Amino acid sequence: MVELELPARPEVVSVARLVIGALVATDPLFDDERGADLRLAISEACTNAIQAQMAQHGVVARNGYAGSVGEPILMLCTVQDGQIEVAVTDHGGGFDPNGLHVHPEVTDPSRLDYEGGFGIPLIKMLADSVEFRPNDGGTTVVMRFKPRTPGPRRTLTNRGPSGLG
C-alpha cells in the first residue's frame, strides 16, 4: 500500500503520475499500455480534486501556479488480488457525478465550443470500475484497474460490456 498526501497545487499532478507509474511497474501483470492508462486516469482524478479545492477556496491559478489550497489531496494505492485500486480524496465541497453537464461527442465539431469535461469520461473509460463517494467536505474517487489482455480497446463511444467505460 502506498499513501501520499499531496498539496492541492497543479504542479503535484506529475508526482502522482510518477508514483502510480512506479507502482504499476512492480506488477508484471500490467504492461506499459495499461500503466499509461493508470497514469492518465490518476492524473485526471488528481487534477479534478485540485481544481475542486481551488474553486472551493476561490483561488485562481496564475501562469499555471497556485499556492497550496486547503487540506492536502490524499492518494491511497493498493495492489492486491490481481488489481490496483487507487482512491483520490479531496476537500473541495463535493459534487454529484450524475449531475454533470453532458458535452457533445468528441467527434462532433460543436465539442470545440467546450473547454474541459473529459476527466470523468476518461476515468470511466480507463478504469475497470469507478465509485464517487462523498466524504466530509469533498469527494473520494475510487478506481480499480485490472491487467488487460490484448484485444479491442474501449473508447469514449464504445464503453465495453458494462457500459461504464
**pLDDT score at 164:** 45
Give the model confidence (pLDDT) of 46-67 as tens digits.
Answer: 999 998 888 877 766 554 545 5
Domain spans, the chain: 2-145
- The owner of cell 450524475 is 98
User: Which tops the pLDDT comparison, 102 or 138?
Assistant: 138
Q: How far, in whole angstroms, is CA 90 from its chain's centroid?
A: 12
**pLDDT score at 163:** 46
**pLDDT score at 77:** 96
**pLDDT score at 130:** 96
**pLDDT score at 106:** 64
* From 7-21, 55-69, 111-125, the region with the lowest mean pLDDT: 55-69
Q: Are 49 and 8 in contact (CB under 8 A)?
A: yes
Class of domain 2-145: alpha beta
